[in-house]
Amino acid sequence: MTYRTIIEPFRIKTVEPIKMTTRAQRERLLEAAGYNPFLLPARDVIIDLLTDSGTGAMSAEQWAALMRGDESYAGAQSYYRFADTVREIFGFTHVLPAHQGRAAERILFSTVCKPGDVVPNNTHFDTTRANIEATGAEALDIPIPQALEPSTVHPFKGDMDVAALEALIERVGTERVPLVMLTITNNSGGGQPVSMENVKRVSAVCRAHGLPLYIDACRFAENCWFIREREAGHAEHSVAQIARELFSYADGATMSAKKDGLANIGGFLATNDDALAKQEERLLILTEGFPTYGGLAGRDLEAIAVGLREVLDHDYLRYRIVSTAYLGRHFTEIGVPIVQPPGGHAIYVDAAALLPHIPRSQFPGQALLAELYVAGGIRAVEIGSVMFGKTDEQTGEERFAPMELVRLAIPRRVYTQSHIDYVIEVMADVYARRDSIHGLNIVWQSQPLRHFTARFEPARARTHAAVRR
């Protein structure tokens, strides 16, 4: 007999208490944080779905591995264990540790980009975009058209539009495209996977034009699990085999080990290009550290080496993907519009569809964040016009993002089903009261990456104040 219930495939050995707060307390706390959940102290959050990055629980084996950490400045054993694991799973020759994903991105892009270049991706994550733009190059998103239709169900909504890639190369020429990137899974596009077929086709275009293909590998194991589940010809392959094949079509990768590395910090940059690796190493030494530790402690490298193997476990991945889908299914049953189908690490609520009465200039996504926090102490993140929009410095006009999403990201191995059931109950309550939720105005911001620090006030409050005056 195979039972239907998929349990958390772990027992809990250490617990962290959650401080409970009241609605009245949360109203005060959120106001003090300028209606920006990034500015809330974490102790005042009941369920923290801000990110799945660095927030996972380490396993007993990872904690044990910390004790093996070799803290030698050069040539530490921990580096070899880390680099050998990365080589074995990903197949790249050169492995440069970095303190997190964005450090790897900065080193890569500041080495290969020049002003006027264009770097295409299915969809750039915000740090990737910012690091490319910091070099004077353009970060271009070319997802398949379905990626921009939240309710459209497609098994591989993370795919890149290959025709758009060819057209871009045709238009700007290969000299202006230093590399092509694929983000697996496509975080900013809804946590959606990229198919093996798409990786192959993108790789074929890149190889035909002599362009390197890089993978943003943050959530590679989740992406490979989706390939195993959804793409013909892979059901019999292990996730490790699928990963090995997928990366064989690429020339390098950046990775934040804070996601599918199951670690709290760390990342790496990998490449097969000997000359480039030398240049990158010089920058690494300048800003991160000697190439055998790259800004990390030996024990961090150990935790990543163990985490990268654990994340390939099928029982873990089945539980992970099923539990994310569980949240998505219940939201859908309530009537909450989400990006379909549910992605690997998060559920993305379509705030523009949920709150059609809030104009985009009053940030429906940010308004939903505020409501989720006040109602249930849940912290999520806006992936919409606060994150990707911009205020024109001359005219003061807002440029909006293509979608107004709210992401509820699920930390790995942290919350149980009852925590998720609580999130569903809070969302049902918010949904029932959706017509009374009001928008927010930005009262302070600083570019780039304004979403981290911007402060807001309720749009209603301003009207009332204006009336009182």
Q: Does 256 bind ligand F0G (CB under 6 A)?
A: yes
CB-CB contact of 351 with 364 (8 Å): yes
C-alpha dist (Å) from residue 83 to 74, 79, 270, 294? 14, 6, 10, 12
Q: How far is the CB of 236 from ligand F0G (least distance, A)?
A: 29
Q: Which of 122, 135, 187, 203 binds ligand F0G (CB under 6 A)?
A: 187
3-state helix, strand, coil in the chain (%, to 5): 45, 15, 40
Of all residues in the shown chain, the one whose CB is closest to ligand F0G is 101
Q: How far is the CB of 258 from ligand F0G (least distance, A)?
A: 5
CB-CB contact of 443 with 33 (8 Å): no
Q: Would you say 188 or 340 has its CB closer to ligand F0G?
A: 188
Q: Which stretch binds ligand F0G (CB under 6 A): 100-108, 205-213, 288-296, 454-462?
A: 100-108
Report the C-alpha gap between 392 and 377 in whole angstroms: 33
Q: Would you say 101 or 344 has its CB closer to ligand F0G?
A: 101
Q: Does 118 bind ligand F0G (CB under 6 A)?
A: no
DSSP code of 168? H
Q: Does 218 bind ligand F0G (CB under 6 A)?
A: yes
Report the C-alpha gap between 193 and 379 in whole angstroms: 24
Smallest CA-to-CA distance from 384 within 165, 140, 150 is with: 150
Q: Does 122 bind ligand F0G (CB under 6 A)?
A: no
Q: Would you say 358 or 380 has its CB closer to ligand F0G?
A: 380
Q: Which of 102, 129, 157, 234 binds ligand F0G (CB under 6 A)?
A: 102
Residue 173, class by beta-carbon neighbours within 10 Å (0-12 exposed, 13-18 middle, 19+ buried)?
A: exposed
Q: Which stretch binds ligand F0G (CB under 6 A): 15-23, 95-103, 164-172, 224-232?
A: 95-103
Per-residue x/- mask for ligand F0G, residues 21 to 60, rule CB under 6 A? ------------------------------x-x-------
Binding residues among 362-401 for ligand F0G as defined by CB under 6 A? none
32 Cβ neighbours under 8 A, 6+ residues apart:
none
Q: Would you say 125 or 249 has its CB closer to ligand F0G?
A: 125
Determine which helix (DSSP H) or strand (DSSP E) holds 430, and give its type and residue range.
helix 417-432
Q: Does 190 bind ligand F0G (CB under 6 A)?
A: no
Q: How far is CA 27 from the centre of its chain?
A: 28
Q: Does 216 bind ligand F0G (CB under 6 A)?
A: yes
Report the C-alpha gap between 305 and 371 in whole angstroms: 39
Q: How far is the CB of 101 from ligand F0G (least distance, A)?
A: 3
Q: Which stretch binds ligand F0G (CB under 6 A): 59-67, 70-78, 120-128, 293-301?
A: 120-128
Smallest CA-to-CA distance from 140 within 188, 181, 199, 195 is with: 181
Q: How far is CA 244 from the centre of its chain?
A: 22
CB-CB contact of 147 with 195 (8 Å): no
- Supply φ then ψ for residue 241, to 5 degrees: -65, -40
Q: Would you say 51 or 271 has its CB closer to ligand F0G?
A: 51
Binding residues among 258-287 for ligand F0G as defined by CB under 6 A? 258, 267
Chain positions contacting ligand F0G, by CB under 6 A = 51, 53, 100-102, 125, 127-128, 183, 187, 216, 218, 256, 258, 267
